[in-house]
Structures are given as structure tokens and as C-alpha cells.
Amino acid sequence: MKIPPHVSIVGATGAVGKEFLEILEERNFPMRSLRLLSSPRSAGSELLFRGEKHVVEALTETSFQGVDLAFFSAGGAISKQYAPIAADGGTIVVDNSSAFRQTDGIPLIIPEVNPEALDEVRQGKKPGAIIANPNCSTIVLLVAVTPLHREATVTRMVVSTYQAASGAGAKALEELTEQSRQVLAGESPSPVVFNEPCAFNVFSHDSKIGEEGYNIEEMKMVWETRKIWNNPDIGISATCVRVPVKRAHTESVTLELERPLSPERAREILGDAPGVQVIDDPKENRFPTPLAASHGDDVLVGRIRKDLSHKSGLCLLLSGDQLRKGAALNAVQIAELFL
């Protein structure tokens, strides 16, 4: 990849696309030029980046000519159609959808966890490639758990997620806001984006449920963890729910470990781990919250305690901003590995 690169963002007008712009500016990401791409209905609109207005262009098969690095965040169907075209033309694609996460030969990367997975791309004979960004829940989980895994080897995880409405997009966030107004006004909420009312409610994640009774969001955490850790035998059971929170996902995690690990040692390890901030104050009852995690780069970790049901178990509570570290920030960090 040319350094500094010519950069494009696919899905620039969406919630994650706007996070890309904010993060690239905050981190002073080096680039020669920026091309913003979106659907035809958004073409012609303008977005501000580094004090300059950039006109959004309609995405076409020729959009990637001269582009060295492309961030995709426009859904799986768009990625499947256009990412191979971009990669074949010599562009490094960092894709935020689920389209390529389980594809053999395409690395699935969290920079704090498995940066070595990029080696094959760096050493490849072709200039272009596709790199997959994991699911937001998987990223939040593994940023926090991997340092403990390196110390004591995780053999099994049980995870419950409490996922913010904005994880389903800008319209879902608008629905939460409007339904909250309706309920407080004594009106009945009208679900459109979700199957259930999201204001003042908690409900199972609305992705498709498979034959074994797990929904796709839950299975993503299983499949992706096994690929990222290169461990097809790791035991994982997940339950994913939506909660009436605007931003940032929270996860309750129980770990079974090969070797005992004290909460005190776990705090030391996590205190030194990149991308992690420990908030664990039992005396003041102060622990991670989605409000504290919102708009932040770190995964917050607390409620670090022994699992009373297992001699080598540990329990954690995590919160992480799913639009930043769970999406755009992780993708930008992947690109930074090339720099």
C-alpha cells in the first residue's frame, strides 16, 4: 500500500461512516486524498473532514481506481459485490460487515489480539486484499479476555450481552428516542426497526435463530472467537439481548480457565493491557457502564471476581463503544498496522 494512501470510505453517510471520519481526523491518519462513497440517494451530500467539505459520490465499480485503502461499512451485500472488485484492482479493503469473516484466507483481525494475522497480506504478491473486521460484540469481548487467556488459558466462556440500540443503525436509535417520548407521554410505542418495543424494555437480539436455538449474533461470537484465537475447540455459549441504551455494548462474562487466576492478578494483567481500562471499585460500587464507555476508545472492565461455581473460574463485566472500538476504530487500527 502506498504511504500515505489514497483513502475511500464506503457507506460514508451512515453511523459508522461518520465515526470513520471522526476517528481518522482525531488520529491524524496520513492520507493523500479522501473519497466518500455511498448509495445514489446520498450522492451529492457534503460531509466535513479536517475543516473541508467533501462531496459524497455514488458507489460504482470504477470508484476504486487510484484508491490504496478502502473502509467498507455499508452492509454485507454491498461488500460482497464491491470489495472483491476493489481488491482485484489493488486496493486494501478493511470490511466492517460479516461478508468475509469466515472466509478462508481472509484475516479476521483485532490489532490488540492477533496482528500477526496480517503477515500473509503484507507478504502477498498482489497489492490488493480484503481484511475483515470482527463483530462489535466479539471485539469488546476479546480485547478484554485475551490478556487473561494468555496468562491462564481460557477453556470455556459464557457471555451475556446487553446491546445498545444504535448497534442496529441510526434508524434504530431514532426509534428508541421516539418510543421513549411516546411512553413518557402515556402513548403506546410503535415498533418498526425492532420486533419489540425498545424503550423501557429488554428483548432477545432480533437476528435469525438457527436450528440449535442460538441467533446469528450469538453464533458470530462463537465462530469469530475460534478463528481469531485459532482454536476450534474453545467452548463458548452466548446470549445476546437489546437494552434501551443509546450507545455502547455491555457484556457479562464468565471464564473457565486451565489454571487458577486470582482477581488481584487479573486486575494487574488488565491494567497493563492495551485498549483496556479497569474500572473496578467495589467499595464505591463503581464499575463499567455504557455511558462511561460511550465515545471512548477503551474497553472498560470491572466486577472482576472469582466464579463461585468453578475452582478455576473468573467473572467480568465489560462495556465498549460498539461504533468506535467495535467498528470504525478497530478498522482504522488495522490500517495503521500497514503504516
In the set 6, 149, 205, 249, the catalytic residue is 249
The helix-helix angle for 136-152 and 263-271 (nearest 10°) equals 120
In the set 54, 136, 198, 205, the catalytic residue is 136
Other Cβ atoms less than 10 A from the Cβ of 307: the count is 16
CB neighbours of 223 closer than 8 A, spacing ≥ 6? 101, 102
How many residues does this entry show for the chain?
339
Report d(CA 4, CA 6) in Å as an integer.
7
- Helix ranges (DSSP H) in the chain: 15-26, 76-88, 119-122, 136-152, 170-184, 216-228, 263-271, 290-293, 329-338
**Rounded alpha-carbon distances, angstroms, from residue 181 to 167, 201, 245:** 20, 14, 14
Q: Is 136 a catalytic residue?
A: yes
Query: Which 3 state secondary structure label does DSSP give 80?
Result: helix
Q: Is 149 a catalytic residue?
A: no
Query: Which 3 state secondary structure label does DSSP give 71?
Result: strand
Which cell goes with 211? 436450528
CB neighbours of 109 closer than 8 A, spacing ≥ 6? 115, 117, 118, 131, 132, 133, 134, 228, 334
Report d(CA 47, CA 192) in Å as an integer.
28
Give the residue numbers annotated as catalytic, written as ranges: 136, 249
